[in-house]
Structure 1
Amino acid sequence: MKKSNIWKITECINPIYAECWLRSPVKLVEKFPCDSCNIGGKYETPSPLTIEWEEGSNDIGDFSWPTGGRVIVKETVFNALNEIVGELSSGPVKMIQDPKLQSPIRKMKRKPRVYLPYQGPLLVELIVDKQISFLPNTTTKIIDQCEICGRTQRELIGVEEKEHFWNASSKKLIRINNTRESEKGLFVSSSDIGSNAIFFRVDEFSDAILCTDEMKKILEEKEYTNIDFLAYGEVR
């Protein structure tokens, strides 16, 4: 694997696409080493991925983001990517809905949403199970440390961040972009990435789905919707 930038794949800040929430939380399969801090337990990711659509839009993007480090794509997107890179894995998606909700028979003033029974494009979970370690020069800060066992929780610093908030006075969505700081962020070894780097995660920050320049270029050339990229670091 040649040197490359590392990109976090994330949801695009755009309110036109339907949003969904994860309704199948991870399952604890190995007890926490410390009863005081509950850091370090092992979890099992349930299948199928169960989601519930939120009101606001009924336009489903090529990518959907139910939180929890999981991502949904249209089946056509998955098949197209798999033809290019191969070795992708997918899983089923299940949808639930409040029994009180019903799709309106006629147009109403209520906010749009995706209703069940589902009539949209076929969806699958894009499974990202490759996980590697990061190099010691990765920049982090401790956000919590257990007084009993000494285990720490850290967050990455120096990576690109995008934020948005609603300005009530101007009635506009304000976007803030903090670019990645030079020589800071996440660093991984090219030998750990391997020759066919597609999507991957790193230890301690496994909710983030990452890719290299090569995959970023493919995704951008396809012009997929509801996807954005944050500069997170480098492959060395």
Structure 2
Amino acid sequence: MNIYLLDDPAKPAEYARFSSVGTWTEDRICNVCGEPTARLIEPLQIEWDEGTDHIGDFSWGGYHCVVLDAVRAFLESKAFEVKFGDVQVKRPTERAKRPRVQFPYRGPHLSWLTPTARLKLDEEKSGVRVISDCSACEQRRYSFKRDGLVLPETSWNGEKVFLIDQFGRSRATFVTEEALTMLVREGFSNLCPRPAGTIES
């Protein structure tokens, strides 16, 4: 079975994009490996970027994703393995030179989409390698890939949507071909699926 990465179509003139500015857990730098240990928690605080004031069904800030209520209702009705968090729109720090979603925000309700399932890659077949393995902060970091990934069928229990365990804190979101077909059929906007690999038996 094929798997796909859900990604930003990168069309800033068509759909609004955002930057994540909080809320962060206590920021700390590991004194052994030098890596930050802070992570984003609710509410996800965002600032809308310049480009347009048109909000899609999916909105992207890197691999962080917020969705409109229609997407949330659909994913919940189909038992996708996700949870939803609160979103707080913050005042932009710079004056816009191009169109941008208005502040104070009066647009449609937004929810922070986070997959709850984490699946393990076949590291050798996927071609990912350990970059660092710190015993102090217990963070093992792997090289990141967007394609050529292989999931052994033994690590998959029918999940429709998931994160990759080896990619740590990355919110890169993957779906099965069946799940993607369901999303495409609904016609949701601002969604760019990219072939990412396979689930192998």
Instruction: Kindly indicate whether residue 160 of structure 2 is the aligned counterpart of residue 186 of structure 1.
Output: no
Q: Mean Cα displacement is larger for which, 18-27 or 209-218?
A: 18-27
Matched residue type, 2:112: E
Where has structure 1 moved over 3 Å in runs of 4 or more? 28-32, 41-45, 98-102
Corresponding position of 1:156: 145
The change in CA–CA distance for 1:95 and 1:84 in structure 2 (over 3 A counts) is same
Please give the per-residue CA displacement for 1:157-195, whole angstroms capped at 9, x wherever unaligned: 7x2xxxxxxxxxxxxxxxxxxxxxxxxx21112232213
Q: Is the 2:80–2:161 Cα contact (8 Å) retained in structure 1?
A: no
Q: Is the 2:5–2:174 Cα contact (8 Å) retained in structure 1?
A: yes
SS in 1 for 2:106: coil
SS in 1 for 2:64: coil
- Displacement of 1:155 after TM fit? 2.9
SS in 1 for 2:74: helix
1:228 aligned residue (183, 192, 195): 192
TM-score between both structures, scaled by the size of structure 1: 0.70
Report the aligned-residue RMSD.
3.0
Percent of aligned pairs sharing the same letter: 24
User: Which structure 2 residue ranges, 5 or more long, are not aligned?
Assistant: none
User: Which structure 1 residue ranges, 5 or more long, are not aligned?
Assistant: 103-109, 160-184
Instruction: Kindly indicate whether residue 17 of structure 2 is the aligned counterpart of residue 12 of structure 1.
Output: no
Larger radius of gyration, structure 1 or 2? 1
Q: Is the 1:10–1:230 Cα contact (8 Å) retained in structure 2?
A: yes
Q: Is the 1:30–1:42 Cα contact (8 Å) retained in structure 2?
A: yes
Corresponding position of 1:59: 54
The change in CA–CA distance for 1:30 and 1:119 in structure 2 (over 3 A counts) is closer
Corresponding position of 1:118: 105
TM-score between both structures, scaled by the size of structure 2: 0.81
Distance 1:98 1:152 in 2: 33
